[in-house]
Structures are given as structure tokens and as C-alpha cells.
Amino acid sequence: MELSKSFAAEFLAYARERLLTPKILTLGGAVAACATVASRAQHPELTAPLAFVLVWQFRLWDDLEDLGFDRVYHPERLLVRSAALRAFAATAAASMLAVGATLALAAGAGRALAYAVLVALFAAGYRLFREAPHRRLLRAHWVLAKYPALVFLAAWQPVSGRAAAVAALLYLMLCLIEIADDPGMRDMREARALAVAEGIAIAGIIVYGVLL
């Protein structure tokens, strides 16, 4: 009992530090808004909570995968100092099982299967990039690829063309922000070239949306 209370307190502290920050709340709001647009505002009362849960659980997973990096560059973070990493990992796994079951009940087996495939792909990707930590630019774009997928998962009944456009716009904007926000990537010639290409693609999607 004392152990469970201790972990609950630690998890709440982690949530305040990493899940309830303005950046992550804004990201959850962006995924929720894109999912709502993608499904023509059908059942936003279900779409928004699901979007936030998906963003939060993948943030926890990201943080668990980034422990090696954080031990060097962010030793002050709670997970780095935690003695309950197994409990955090179990929490992430339990939340994924719960979301999978919820999707199966609310949206059908197809949506739950798509979610399972996403989880499997990211499990494989994380393992791959653990073995190739120098692929920083590629890893950053891979990690961000989950967010357009979350748009489709959170949308009630995504309209294919509309969903693809808003998901692509979200992804490209996040990639552009990531490059601009990371001094290491800003110094990379290929990252700057990619940022220009992403900016052009963003403009193209916006113009396409206006013309429609």
C-alpha cells in the first residue's frame, strides 16, 4: 500500500513536470483540433480526451526511451532520478492496453488494429534508433511521425482527404519547429535544407486548403 501511494505521488510529480506543461498541452490541443477537423466535428467530446491520452502516453514512452540521453543532458528530470522505472513502464503498457480496448469498443476492431500496428512500429523504431543514436535528424522526424497517426486514431470518422491534409500539415509544422528549436540540428546543412522543403510543403497544403 505504501509503495503504491509512493508511486502515485511520484507519477503526479512526473505529470506536472512532463505532461501538463504548456508545450505538451498545446500539442495535445493541436492533435485534438486536427482530429476534430478531420472528422468534421463529430463527437468532439470523445475526440479531445482521446487525443490528450494518446499524446500523454507516447510522451511517457518517449521519456522512458530517452533516459540515456537525459542522464547526460537533463539529470534534473524526475524519471532520471526515479527508482520506480518499472512501474512507469508498466503504467505506459497498461495505458496502451486500455486505449486499445477503448478503441475496439468505440470505433471497431479496425481502429484498434491500426493502433496496435502503430505501437509495434514504434517499438521496432525505438529499438533501431537505440542502436544508431547518431541518426539524430532521422530519429527526430521518426518520433514526430506518431502525431499525424494520432490524428487519425482520435478522429471519430476521419474523412480521408481532409484527415490526410491536416495530419500532414501538423507533421510538417512539428518537424519545422523541432529543427528551429534544436541548436544541434540548426547547424546541420541537411536539416536546413529539409526545413526549407518542409516550409514549401506547408505553404502548398495551406494554398490547397484555401482553393478547396
Query: Would you place residue 211 in the very low, low, confident or very high pLDDT band (cuts 50, 70, 90)?
Result: low
Asked if pLDDT for residue 166 goes beyond 60, the answer is yes
Among 88-92, 118-122, 131-135, 189-193, the least confident range? 131-135
Which of 121, 134, 8 shows the shortest CA–CA distance to 58?
Answer: 121
Which pLDDT band holds residue 133 (cuts at 50, 70, 90)? low
d(CA 101, CA 84): 26
Q: Which three cell numbers stand for residue 74?
A: 537533463
CA angle 162, 163, 167 (to 5 degrees): 120
Rg (CA), the chain: 18
Cβ proximity of 39 and 159 under 8 Å: yes
68 CA to centre of own chain: 19
Determine the Cα–Cα distance for residues 26 and 67; give it in Å rounded to an integer: 24
- Whether the pLDDT of residue 20 is over 90: the answer is yes
Grid coordinates belonging to 132: 544508431
CA distance 206 to 212: 10
The arithmetic mean of pLDDT across residues 111-134, rounded, is: 88
Mean pLDDT calculated for residue range 149-169: 90
Of 48, 45, 55, 50, which is closest to residue 20 (Cα–Cα)?
55
Region 21-28 average pLDDT: 97
pLDDT, greater one: 32 or 184: 32
Grade residue 69 by pLDDT with cuts at 50, 70 and 90. Answer: confident
Q: Please tell me the distance from the alpha carbon of residue 2 to that of residue 4, in angstroms, as a whole number.
A: 5
Determine the average pLDDT of the residues in 196-200: 95
Does residue 72 or residue 209 have the better pLDDT? 72
pLDDT-derived band at 212 (thresholds 50, 70, 90) equals: low
What pLDDT, on a 0 to 100 scale, did the predictor assign at position 47?
92
pLDDT at residue 34 tops 60: yes
- pLDDT at position 161 over 70: yes
Q: How far apart are CA 102 and CA 89, in angstroms?
A: 20
The number of C-alpha atoms within 13 Å of 210 and in the hemisphere containing its C-beta is 6
10 Å CB burial of residue 167 (0-12, 13-18, 19+) is buried
Predicted TM-score of the model (pTM): 0.92
**Of the candidates 100, 125, 128, which has an alpha carbon nearest to the alpha carbon of residue 114?**
100
Q: What is the pLDDT of residue 1?
A: 59
Please state the rounded mean pLDDT for residues 187-205: 92
Question: With 80 as the cut, is the pLDDT of residue 61 above it?
Answer: yes
Residue 162 has pLDDT above 60, yes or no: yes
